[in-house]
Amino acid sequence: MNRTVVLGQLARDLVLMTGELPEPGTSADVSRRIETLGGKGANQAVAVARLGAPVSLVAVAGDDVVGDQLLAQARADGVDVTAVRRRRGALTGLIVEILEPDGRWRYLQHLPSEVLLTPADVAAAGAVFDGAGAVLLQLQQPAETVRAAARLAAANRALIVLDGAAEEPGELLALADVVRADEHEAKLLLGGDVTVDRARKLLDRKPRLVAFGVPDGNLFVWDGGDLLLPHGDGPVVDSTGAGDAFTAALTVALLDGAGPQDAARRAVKASGKAVGRPGGRP
């Protein structure tokens, strides 16, 4: 299988599980603490690797010890990190998740501009795009950076997967093959509630498959068909990372030659497995 390139965030994930949130000026005990490689880009790259596909990550780490540790973990996970930029003088990104027993979560994150990708970073990573079968682009990165990566992916005739919503998606939609968004992001893209008709209009812009979160599951629309798949019926410990597992599995399935319905079911299955454990690590 051809290699997948994932462009997105790399960060240290710190998950704190607690039975109650403290009132201001008080404290509470943490029942479990997890520290690991995280960030949407790294999570998706690890998920692709765990699905047995070769993968390269394009991201930014600081030049600190934390960056050293996270890159070592990514390599151990089977992720190629030769295109990860080390930003001099920057601290590697940090995401703190506070997780309650009922699955509710809160994030505190330190992701300053220094650890976001720039068009220059994309240009420097150009070699990893050569021969790539798929390029997965997260729209939480600066718009000009994502556009630069999309153009490079298109020049290499890779399958282009957009993850999220952009303020001005015009050029990106004209380049993308697949668009994935959660319910909130999908409403921004569509200008209203997610419906089959609205989603199908995006296909006129170029994408051949859209996958949008809806209240009762995930809606998939492609030329000639649509499919609504409910969420899995297993226990939900933590929904963090479910979308990353979903997007990675969808990308790998399509790259493997699966049709829309098969790829959709594989994506939902991966997402269902992800919610059964704490943290965003797939």
Point out the residues that are catalytic. 244
7 DSSP β-pair partners: 58, 137
Tell me which residue of 129, 146, 128 sits closest to 137, measured CA to CA.
Answer: 146
Tell me which residue of 249, 213, 181, 210 sits closest to 44, measured CA to CA.
Answer: 249
Q: What angle do CA 188, 12, 247 make, to 5 degrees?
A: 40
- Whether 14 contacts 95, CB under 8 Å: yes
Beta pairing, strands 209-214 & 105-110: unpaired
Beta pairing, strands 32-38 & 105-110: unpaired
47 DSSP β-pair partners: none
Strands (DSSP E) along 18-140, which ranges? 32-38, 55-58, 60-62, 85-87, 93-99, 105-110, 134-138
Q: What residues contact 35, with CB distance under 8 A and at least 6 apart?
A: 12, 13, 14, 15
- Residues 188 and 192: their CA atoms lie apart, in Å, by 7
Tell me which residue of 210, 203, 207 sits closest to 185, measured CA to CA.
Answer: 210
- Residues 78 and 131: their CA atoms lie apart, in Å, by 19
